[in-house]
Structure 1
Amino acid sequence: MRTVLFASALGLAFAGCAPAPAPAPSDSASPAAKEAAPPAAEKTTPPEAPADPMTAAVAAKPAAAPAPLTPPSTAECIPYVNPLTAEEIEAGWLSLFDGHTLFGWASNQSEVNWSVKDGTITADSGPIGLLNTTVPFADFEFRCEFRTAEGANSGVFLRTTADPKDLKADCYELNIADEQPEGFLTGSIVGWKKTDEPIKGSGDWRKFSVTAEGNRVRVQLDGKEIMDFTDESAARKSGLLGLQKNKGKVEFRNLAVKPLGMEKLFNGKDTAGWTLVPGSKSKFDIVDGAIHCHDGPGFLETEREFGNFVARVDAQTHAADLNSGYFFRAMKGTEKDPSNGYEVQVHNGIENGDPCRASNAGTGAIFRRVSARRVIPKDKEWCTTTLVANGNRMAVWVNGYAVVDWEDTRKPDENPRKGQRTKAGHISLQGHDPTTDVSFRNIQVVELP
């Protein structure tokens, strides 16, 4: 049974919705015309992270200027490997390593030889340094497999800054070491708590499973709990995930994270907490526990605003080559300006059968800013998009696979169509045009401290 919640017969032009045959004009043109044509990906350069002295020895040693890792262009179509199962994707897991590149990671020490070899992230020379995720996480489950040479020293940094100088204020270091002057061996939280028994980290592949919730960090090694630590100072509530090269050779693989604490923005029954933008032609119905959007243009936006956050939105197109999406950090919609925000694109079209060549930016793209490096979903099938927006850095996963890692380097502006906006704004579901036939479900968000 279908319950019609919103509809409007107003024949008004809508920004970001009305298609036009002409190419997109400059930013000074109307939003409706600008959104009509497929976007060209903007070439951006990840920010240079400062050098990272993690110990007194490193702090005393000048570090070379770091070199950000440049992700492959969409023209370089790497083999698609998604290590996540359908059940893990449904549960919210995100893969942090595509098996071929360092997409989504940034080194804070240019002299460390981070690389991908035989399906692993590895390093064995250079000064002490970190390879960090480009976006942070607050509460999460994290897992990885690691292997180190005899006598090597490494670690996994939790909720870290890009440049941690104080191990008790800037991060939690989950150590990987056979020896450590103060006895913080493998599985210990350096400077905070040691494992009950000394554990060697070298040898064959081993697996960390970490749960960080609030001020509590729990760690399993190869399925056995070895650490349960509570930080009464609650020093770190959010931060990057980092892999450390300290001494000797280290390898990592099967890295994944699952954000925790997600709050439902859609209850599956009605649109409580959402508002129809004035002038909308789109109809937003509740069908089988999903918001079904058809006809258009039109927008349904949250009453609340969100600034830095992790969001999940499942989407399904019901015909080929349909165009939709959801906006974020959007200004409140009006008849004149219904969708001034950043947009996560939903469009599964590809060129010449090549999934690395999106015909209209691709599902997961930040529309008109950067294309998805690969189109993962197919029309008429559900897909899961996950967005992390933190400051001017944004990353998107589709079905748990990273497709966008982008920094907005434009000048600040209240309107994200014109410039960088870090201020909180609305999340808005898009009905693109009269052909729109798309559904949304599992709309969830958690704010980043």
Structure 2
Amino acid sequence: MHRTAFAGLALLLLCGCGGTDPAPESKGTGTSGAAASPDESEAAEKKSSPRSGQAGSTAKPIPAAAAGIDVPEAEPPTLFTAEQLAEGWVALFDGQTLFGWEASHPKTGWRVEDGTIIADGTEPGLLLTSFEIGDFDLSCECQLEAGGNSGVFLHTTRNPSDPSADCWEFNLCDTHEKFPTGSMVARKAVPLDHPIEDGKWHSMLLKAMGNRLVAFIDGEQVLEYEDDTATPRTTGFIGLQMNGGKVKFRNVYLRPTGTKPLFNGTDLAGWRVVPGSNSEFEVNDGAIHIGNGPGFLETTDTYGDFVLQLEARTNAERINSGVFFRAQPGTEENPSNGYELQIHHGFAEGDRRRPDDYGTGFGTGAIFRRVPVRRVMANDNEWFHMTLLAQGPHFVTWVNGYRTVDFIDTRPADENPRRGLRLEAGHLSLQGHDPGTDIDFRNLEITTIAGGTAAAGTE
């Protein structure tokens, strides 16, 4: 993704000014837990389904809801501007539900009211992301009343007991004797220059880079910290804390950083056409164009645990494509043995909760044949943004910044992801699905997740 806007944002923050705010004003449990579906023949499934350009079928149930996933009827709030999407921001909080979050204690009372995450329970606790991550920018807003005690935990374990070893705890507590607001608990104290216990909303930007953290409150830098311990924390969960009183959070956004381009914008260096492909792969105006099909274009490098961000555009109605990952090397006989990040924007009866591509419906952002999306968030003939986090058996996807899937593959291990869980690194592959394929990809970037189960490599 384009990162050029970051330098200007950082300068504005240092000057205490506005600029491109990654936390627009608000307008308005847990991971899916969906089990992996039994293996089926993709070819047989797709032959019985509408092809690209054909009309949708009759009314369908809401597949994500059937899998026990929270799918609100109301449309989600607008989360990002086009510029913020281009900068790589995704939402950790969708403004409606706690989908993708895990509470460490049931009595902390985490809930959503009026587009806000609230906790005022009887027991302290954390609200944790479902996944771990290394380098990132975290933007959020917090409201804390007098006497409140909160914090944002970074690079944390699930159950941190020692803040000097188990996490980075960015404290939000004006009255803390040793580590007031803006400090890193048990690691670095700073003066209370930015009190926040006034019942007002305050913005925060936390930038985690390797063993370093730079933190801003209301646009002003309050902390710079370097973890120089023998075992510095460089990856882990993100957690919101209620440690006393009533705390509110909103506009909780994440931007993965440290990504590197997979596509240079001018030619297909680093990619190869899978033998037997009928698709045509060209570079036009800084994008990879795929026409005709079937066919596959795969990376020469392999990737295991990673965050992938890209933009794509279908150039006709009901175009079908996908991005395969952790795939075995493509051959003419087996061109695409990998997990598939689905691309198909069709939905039934005007209801974006009812993806209308194949079978019971999967939709753009789904892990095809494994778990459907909560909502179709993209449109044909428009550029859209996709983010995929793959971490061990855990896969999280976002489309236009909205979390569409949070899924754990519980199948027995198998080298072929069509048959079972694959943890080993594999290729990324762009799909030309059928003769009607007409799709563009651009700004493909990736970063590996440190400490993951499968490293990146070159075959």
Give the shorter-chain TM-score range.
0.7 to 0.9
Q: Deviations over 1:402-448 (max 9, x none)?
A: 11111112222211111112221111000101111111111110000
* Structure 1 residue 212: Cα displacement: 1.0
Q: Which moved more, 1:108-117 or 1:291-300?
A: 108-117
* Structure 1 residue 128: Cα displacement: 1.9
Q: Distance in 2 between matches of 1:372 and 1:32?
A: 21
What is the aligned partner in structure 2 of residue 370 from structure 1? 371
| Matched-pair contact (CA < 8 Å) for 2:69–2:374 | no
Q: Distance in 2 between matches of 1:273 and 1:132?
A: 37
What is the aligned partner in structure 1 of residue 259 from structure 2? 262
Q: Deviations over 1:66-87 (max 9, x none)?
A: xxxx7414xx423221221110
Q: Which moved more, 1:33-42 or 1:140-149?
A: 33-42
Q: Distance in 2 between matches of 1:372 and 1:28?
A: 19
Residue of 249, 254, 259 corresponding to 1:252: 249
What is the aligned partner in structure 1 of residue 382 from structure 2? 381
Residue 215 (structure 1) aligned with residue 216 (structure 2): no
What is the aligned partner in structure 2 of residue 188 from structure 1? 183
* Structure 1 residue 241: Cα displacement: 1.1
Q: Distance in 1 between matches of 2:69 and 2:39?
A: 31
What is the aligned partner in structure 1 of residue 334 from structure 2? 337
What is the aligned partner in structure 1 of residue 432 from structure 2? 431
What is the aligned partner in structure 1 of residue 321 from structure 2? 324
What is the aligned partner in structure 2 of residue 33 from structure 1? 44
Q: Distance in 2 between matches of 1:110 and 1:197?
A: 32
Residue of 101, 116, 127 corresponding to 1:131: 127
What is the aligned partner in structure 2 of residue 422 from structure 1? 423
Q: Deviations over 1:359-397 (max 9, x none)?
A: 022111111111111111111111010011111111111
Cα separation, partners in 2 of 1:169 and 1:149, compared to 1, 3 Å: same
Superposition pairs of residues 54-65 of structure 1, within 5 angstroms: none
Q: Distance in 2 between matches of 1:208 and 1:37?
A: 50
How many residue pairs match? The answer is 397
Q: Distance in 2 between matches of 1:41 and 1:327?
A: 22
| Matched-pair contact (CA < 8 Å) for 2:132–2:238 | yes
AA in 2 matched with 1:133: T
Q: Which runs of 5+ in 1 are unaligned?
A: 1-25, 46-69
| Matched-pair contact (CA < 8 Å) for 1:44–1:406 | no
Residue 398 (structure 1) aligned with residue 390 (structure 2): no
Q: Deviations over 1:256-297 (max 9, x none)?
A: 111111100000111111111111111111111111001110
Residue of 297, 310, 314 corresponding to 2:311: 314
| Matched-pair contact (CA < 8 Å) for 1:41–1:369 | no
What is the aligned partner in structure 1 of residue 201 from structure 2? 205
AA in 1 matched with 2:214: R
Cα separation, partners in 2 of 1:43 and 1:419, compared to 1, 3 Å: farther
Say which SS state the counterpart of residue 32 (structure 1) adopts. Answer: helix
What is the aligned partner in structure 2 of residue 65 from structure 1? none
Residue 103 (structure 1) aligned with residue 114 (structure 2): no
Cα separation, partners in 2 of 1:82 and 1:96, compared to 1, 3 Å: farther
What is the aligned partner in structure 1 of residue 164 from structure 2? 168
Residue of 77, 81, 85 corresponding to 1:81: 77
Say which SS state the counterpart of residue 220 (structure 1) adopts. Answer: strand
* Structure 1 residue 96: Cα displacement: 1.5
| Matched-pair contact (CA < 8 Å) for 2:365–2:405 | yes
TM-score, length-normalised on structure 2?
0.83
* Structure 1 residue 216: Cα displacement: 1.2
* Structure 1 residue 343: Cα displacement: 0.7
What is the aligned partner in structure 2 of residue 72 from structure 1? 70
Q: Distance in 1 between matches of 2:96 and 2:143?
A: 18
AA in 2 matched with 1:206: H
Q: Distance in 2 between matches of 1:255 and 1:443?
A: 24
* Structure 1 residue 197: Cα displacement: 3.7
Q: Distance in 2 between matches of 1:36 and 1:130?
A: 47
Cα separation, partners in 2 of 1:198 and 1:286, compared to 1, 3 Å: closer
* Structure 1 residue 136: Cα displacement: 2.1
Q: Deviations over 1:78-121 (max 9, x none)?
A: 32212211100011011121111111111121222110012110
Q: Which moved more, 1:130-139 or 1:438-447?
A: 130-139
| Matched-pair contact (CA < 8 Å) for 1:144–1:256 | yes
Q: Which moved more, 1:160-169 or 1:28-37?
A: 28-37
Q: Distance in 2 between matches of 1:125 and 1:28?
A: 43
What is the aligned partner in structure 2 of residue 145 from structure 1? 141
AA in 2 matched with 1:32: A
Q: Distance in 2 between matches of 1:385 and 1:98?
A: 16
Q: Distance in 1 between matches of 2:323 and 2:252?
A: 28
- Taking every aligned residue pair, what percent have the same amino acid on both sides? 46
What is the aligned partner in structure 1 of residue 7 from structure 2? none
| Matched-pair contact (CA < 8 Å) for 2:180–2:191 | no
AA in 2 matched with 1:137: I
Q: Which runs of 5+ in 2 are unaligned?
A: 1-36, 50-59, 451-459
| Matched-pair contact (CA < 8 Å) for 1:82–1:98 | no
Say which SS state the counterpart of residue 350 (structure 1) adopts. Answer: coil
Q: Which moved more, 1:408-417 or 1:325-334?
A: 408-417
Q: Distance in 2 between matches of 1:254 and 1:27?
A: 37
